[in-house]
């Protein structure tokens, strides 16, 4: 995770919370807390959150640190479009601040 957005630490905390919820649920159901089922469910949920943020952050960093003309034009277009589409802006903001509804573990 690129440090420009400081999401690495937050995602680490989020991952810990996701794993803890999975362990608690398995324990409450008298299931093996270290089973592949519990761990695979954790991995799926954690990757659903981290993968898009990781690739999106790296893409944004690449776009905003590239001084070539195509990148400059793309930056200008992205900022222009996002400033004129408030729903898109709100959606991106909600994803980055995790104010969107949280998915539950699939087990």
Q: Could you tell me the mean pLDDT of each successive run of 10 residues in the chain, 107 residues long? A: 73 91 96 96 92 84 91 90 84 67 44
SS (H, E, C) 65-83: HCCCHHHHHHHHHHHHHHH
Q: HSE (CB half, 13 Å, CA atoms) of 54?
A: 11
- Rounded to whole angstroms, the maximal C-alpha distance in the chain is 60
Structure tokens that stand for 83 in this block: 């400033």
d(CA 78, CA 37) in angstroms, rounded, equals 41
What integer pLDDT is reported at residue 106 of this predicted model? Answer: 43
What integer pLDDT is reported at residue 107 of this predicted model? Answer: 39
What integer pLDDT is reported at residue 96 of this predicted model? Answer: 66
What integer pLDDT is reported at residue 1 of this predicted model? Answer: 63
What integer pLDDT is reported at residue 57 of this predicted model? Answer: 82
What integer pLDDT is reported at residue 45 of this predicted model? Answer: 93
């Amino acid at each position: 995770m690129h440090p420009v957005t400081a999401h690495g630490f937050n995602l680490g905390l989020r991952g810990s919370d996701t794993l803890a919820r999975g362990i608690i649920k398995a324990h409450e159901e008298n299931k093996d807390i270290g089973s592949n089922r519990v761990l695979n469910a954790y991995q799926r949920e954690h990757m659903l959150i981290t993968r898009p943020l990781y690739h999106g952050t790296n893409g944004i960093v690449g776009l905003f640190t590239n001084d070539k003309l195509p990148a400059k034009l793309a930056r200008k277009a992205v900022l222009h479009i996002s400033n004129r589409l408030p729903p898109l802006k709100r959606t991106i903001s909600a994803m980055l601040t995790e104010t969107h509804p949280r998915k539950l573990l699939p087990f």
